[in-house]
Amino acid sequence: MTAAATGIERARQGPPLLQLSGRRRQRRFRQYLPAYLLIAPAILATLVFQYIPIAFSGYWSFTEFNGLISPKWVGLANYTALLSDPKFVKSFFNTVLFVVMGMGIGPPLGLASAFLLNNTVRFRAFFRAAYFLPVMTSLVVVATIWKILLNDAGIINQILRFFALPAHAWLSDTTTALPAVTVTSIWQGFGFETVVFLAALQAISRDYYDAAAVDGANWWQRLRYVTLPALRPTIMFIYIIGIIGSFQVFDQVYVMTLGGPINSTRTIVFDLYDRFRTLQLGEASAVAYVLLAILATLSYVQIRVFERR
Amino acid sequence: MSEPAPTLTSRSADLAERSLARKRQRPTRRLSRLVVYALLIVTSILMLGPFYWMLATSFKPAADVFASPPKLIPNPWTLENYRFVFHNLPFTRYFFNSVVVTGSIVGLNVVFGTAAAYAFAKLRFPGRNALFFLLLVTLMVPFQVNLIPLFRMMVILHDVNSHLGVDSYSALILPGMIQVFGIFLMRQFLQSIPDEVLESARVDGASEFRILRSIVFPVAAPGMATLAIFTFLGAWNDFLWPLIVISDDAHKTLPLGLASLQARNTINWGNTMAGTALTAAPLILVFIVLQRRFIEGLAAGAVKG
């Protein structure tokens, strides 16, 4: 470290015009050495903990592999097996349904509450913090709390009974288990969406609204022609990271239902975990690569969106 | 109310117009303010209620957990659930493990992430763009893709040295020690440091490491705080990876410990809620103290990243 540092100082002191070409190359190297040293840990960690695993799981996805005997090449067999495996197909559609329900309801709710908070309200900091609390909380905690709320004898059913509405076995009914997991996830992400939308709303200049008011624009026109266009990048951001995150749903499912009842809450990552647990490492790797294909496409869109900003 | 046509273009007329427009909104405002507060309060109850229910249930004797009508306030109340959890599970150990693992990950990311980000943002060297691209590409790869190979890596590491690999801190820390997202975030942040400041420090004979320590780190402190918050939340709440590599109680983190309590004990929800409250408590306390920092940090990170 010190050698590199003094190297740079010496290089800077010497008049560049008088350097010999052999020494110049050495000087060049010494000049760049600090930069390479600064990035070396990051590059090394990324190669070891990202590139090597990516390569291996790619390779294993084309093999029959249980972790005990060395992998045997089977070509695309794992991928075709997945397509005809009802468990995987079910996981895929459950995940898509989870994403659609969650993203259909969550961000609009967050936007609505951001609008509420964007009024001149007292205790805004309190409301914001209250909504944000679940965002900070581990999903395992959130899911455990909701598991007791949704219990057959739990408070939600008791409230429903109080209003003479039918109680329901939310988590043990195949038709309501996935929506129940989705509601839990929406509840957890709501505060994040609120806070991000609120920050975006507050960044919109007052002048636009004043100008719109002068032009006689009503609230709908102000929303349609001032607010929403200004929020467009934020809405894109929330949806892209929301969709990417939702495709990876696992913790809630693990805690609340373990994929059941009858695979009705089995998701892509839960399917991967289940195959890992039962030592179907080849198929599990293929699941991982299917997920990669979906998410890489979405991330590519995300990066393009940010480059434009 | 007919709209007066804006015929005058002078500034004073414009201002008068604006105040007129504001006045017109007033009567509806009073009612709408009431609705706004009502909605905000109902939402607060929906967001805080589950936490309250967790806490209330954790102080209830087993018979009262699902009492009908529900007991909003535990009566009689008991500490039995907490006693059970502390007696049967090493919760303090889980907490300690979470602190060690999260602390290491946050520290490593802040130091090495900022260092790399500084080089990528402010230094010129051959291969800079290619190497940055090499890092950036991995942002598109979900962690689950690396899961199984990383697990096997940790198994091998454990075979080489039984203090490393699976069922050790190293397994929990190593894969997340330098996250590309952090480098990306910090690079955006550091690009705002003017080159002249760095250049004048170099003229004064400061080395790049000296510059990093005495200029970049202080200036980038808010960015590093954001990075620390992001990595802190990610590491503290991580579940899937610990679930895969940790099977012994001695190295379980809080979420993992809670999940095993929850799976082991589906009969007495009072016990489970006591464990849940203990798992949630440290972060809630940190949040209460630093809530503005956290919310604004995350919002800023979200907008920047």
**Burial (CB count <10 Å: 0-12, 13-18, 19+), residue B48:** middle
What amino acid is encoded at A27 in this protein? R
CB within 8 Å: B53 and A149: yes
CA-to-CA separations, B298 to A69, A238, B179, in angstroms, rounded: 46, 13, 17
A82 alpha-carbon distance from chain centroid:
24
CA nearest A263: which of A65, A91, A95? A91
Q: Which of B271, B300, B273 is nearest to A141 (CA)?
A: B273
Domain-wise residue ranges, chain A: 2-42, 86-308
Do residues A281 and A259 touch, judged by C-beta distance below 8 A?
no
Domain A86-308 has CATH 1.10.3720.10: yes
Tokens representing B229 are 């918050």
Residue of A145, A218, A253 to mutate, testing the B interface (most B Cβ within 10 Å of its Cβ): A145
Which of B21, B149, B254 faces A56 most closely, judged by CB atoms?
B149
Q: Is B209 at the interface with chain A, CB within 8 A?
A: yes
DSSP assignment of A156-215: HHHHHHHTTPPP--GGGSTTTHHHHHHHHHHHHHHHHHHHHHHHHHHTS-HHHHHHHHHT
Going by C-beta distance under 8 Å and a sequence separation of 6 or more, which residues neighbour residue B230?
B181, B182, B185, B297, B298, B301
- DSSP conformation class of A125: H
The answer to whether residue B262 neighbours chain A at the CB level (below 8 Å) is: yes
Question: How confident is the model over B230-277, as pLDDT tens digits?
Answer: 899 999 999 999 999 999 989 999 999 999 888 776 678 899 999 999
Measured distance CA(A42)–CA(A46) in Å, rounded: 6
The whole-angstrom separation of Cα B24 and Cα B20 is 6
Confidence label for B202 from pLDDT (cuts 50, 70 and 90): confident
Nearest to B142 among A190, A281, A295 (CB): A295
- Comparing CA positions, the residue from B149, B157, B162 lying closest to residue B248 is B162
Contact list, A292 vs chain B (CB under 8 Å): 141-142, 145
User: Residue type at A188?
Assistant: Q
Cβ–Cβ gap A139/B144 under 8 Å: no
Alpha carbons within 13 A on the beta-carbon side of B164? 10
**Do B148 and A45 count as a contact with CB atoms less than 8 A apart?**
no
Weakest mean pLDDT among A78-92, B16-30, B177-191: B16-30
Q: Do B287 and A35 touch (CB under 8 A)?
A: no
Res B23: pLDDT = 52
- Our measurement of the distance from residue A138's CA atom to the centroid of its chain's CA atoms, rounded to an integer in Å, reads 14
Q: What is the per-residue pLDDT for B19?
A: 57
- Residue B68: the pLDDT is 78
Amino acid A28: pLDDT: 73
Calculate mean pLDDT across residues A80-88.
Answer: 95
Residue A17 confidence (pLDDT) above 50: no
pLDDT in tens, A207-228: 888 888 888 888 888 888 889 8
Tell me whether residues A53 and B21 touch, CB distance under 8 A. no
Residue B124, CA distances (Å) to A20, A34, A35, A221, B184 in order: 22, 11, 8, 49, 17
Distances (CA, A) of B257 to A48, A197, B12, B233, B268: 29, 34, 67, 17, 16
Chain A environment of B44 (Cβ under 8 Å) = 126-127, 130-131
Dist CA A196 CA A172 (whole Å): 35
Using a CB-CB distance cutoff of 8 angstroms, which residues of chain A are in contact with residue B207? 4-6, 8-9, 34
Of the listed ranges A12-26, A58-72, A271-285, the least confidently predicted one is: A12-26
CA dist B190 → A201, B61, B278, B280 (Å):
26, 55, 38, 34
- CA quadruple A137, B178, A290, A69: dihedral sign: negative
Picking from B135, B258, B262, the nearest residue to A46 by CB comes out as B135
Asked whether the beta carbons of residue A127 and residue B43 sit closer than 8 angstroms, the reply is yes
Any CB–CB contact under 8 A between B31 and chain A? no
Q: Given CB atoms, is B95 within the 8 Å cutoff of chain A? A: no
Domains and CATH numbers, chain B: 28-78 (no CATH), 82-304 (1.10.3720.10)
